[in-house]
Structure 1
Amino acid sequence: MISDADEVRVPLVEERVQVEKVEVETDRVRVRTVVDEHFETIEQVLQTGRLDVRNIPLDQEVAEAPAPRQDGDTLIVSIVEERLVKRLFLVEEVHITQSSHAEAVSVPVSLRRMRAVVEQDAADSLPTGRE
C-alpha cells in the first residue's frame, strides 16, 4: 500500500489565451470612375413609302356617286358634280397608288461605358500603427 508520505501530488496547469485586436490602417485605395467611348456602326433597313396621285378626267353621267374602290395597290376616289339639269356627272377619278422602297443605311453611333479605376494611395502617407 501507498502511504501518505509516498503520495506525490502533481499540480495541473492550464494556459488560456486572450486575443486583443487593434485596428491598424495598412493601406488605402482611391476609386474613381472613367467613361470610355467607342464608336459602332448600326446597320438597319429603312422602309420609305410614296404615294402617286393621278387625276383622270371623265365626263360621264351617273345615277349616284360611286363609292371609293380598290384596284390592286390603287385607291380610286370618284369626284362628282351636280349640273343644272339635276343630273350627276362623274367629272374625274383620282387614282392614288402606294409604293414602298427599302434602303439599307449605316449610322455611326457613340457608345459610352463607365468603369471603376482602383488606385493605391502612396504608402508613406499612412501611419504604421507602431508608435
Structure 2
Amino acid sequence: MPSKSDLTGQTDPQTIELVEERASIGVRETITGRVRVTTATETFDEVRSHELHGTRVEVTRVPVERMLEPGEAPPGSRTEGGVTIVPVFEEVLVTETRIVLKEELHITQYETTETVDIPVSLRRQTATVARVNPEG
C-alpha cells in the first residue's frame, strides 16, 4: 500500500507495535535478621543513713537531810526548769516520829539525735540486645 504524504510532501512510514513492556512495583517482606533480648538482674549492697530521735534520762541524787516540822506536809513531786524532782522520805525514831526528807531525785531529759548506717540490698535490671543470623 502506498504511503500517505503530508502537506510538506514527505512520506510517513506505517508503525506497527509488536511488544510493549510494562513495569510493576511491589513490596515483599524479607527477613534480614533477628534480635534476641535478654534481661539480667543484679543485686548490690548500699549503705543508707537515717537519723534516730530519742530521749535520754539522767538521774542525779541530791542529798537534803532536812527534818520536817511536826504537822508539815511532805512535799510532792514537782518540775522546775525542765527537771522533775521526786522527794524520797525516811522515818526516823526520835522521842517522837518525824518525817525526814532524805534526798531528792533530780531527773533531767535530753533530746538526742543519732545517725545510723543501715545496709540494704537493692536490685538493678539491665537488658542486652544481640543480633542473630536469619538462618538461625
TM-score, normalised relative to structure 2: 0.51
Q: Which residue of 2 aligns with 1:78?
A: 87
Are 1:98 and 2:105 counterparts? Answer: no
Gaps of 5+ in 2: 1-30
Higher strand share: 2
Q: Deviations over 1:52-103 (max 9, x none)?
A: 4132232221533321000112111111122332322211112122234556
On the 8 A contact 2:53/2:111 being kept in 1, the answer is no
On the 8 A contact 1:64/1:88 being kept in 2, the answer is no
Q: How large is the RMSD of aligned CA atoms in angstroms?
A: 3.6
On the 8 A contact 1:47/1:102 being kept in 2, the answer is yes
Q: In structure 1, what residue type is equivalent to 2:76?
A: A
Gaps of 5+ in 1: 1-23, 127-131
Larger of the two Rg values belongs to structure: 2
On the 8 A contact 1:36/1:113 being kept in 2, the answer is yes
Q: In structure 1, what residue type is equivalent to 2:103?
A: E
TM-score, normalised relative to structure 1: 0.52
Q: In structure 2, what residue type is equivalent to 1:27?
A: R
> 1:114 pairs with 109, 118, 124, which one?
124
On the 8 A contact 1:36/1:114 being kept in 2, the answer is yes
How many Å apart are 1:41 and its aligned residue?
6.0
Structure 1 pair 125–65 and aligned structure 2 pair: CA distance change class (3 A)? farther
Once the two structures are superposed, the pairs formed by residues 53-68 of structure 1 within 5 Å of their partners are 53-62=60-69, 63-68=72-77
Residues matched between the structures, number:
101
Q: Secondary structure at the match of 1:67?
A: coil
On the 8 A contact 2:67/2:98 being kept in 1, the answer is no
Q: In structure 2, what residue type is equivalent to 1:72?
A: G
Q: In structure 2, what residue type is equivalent to 1:33?
A: A
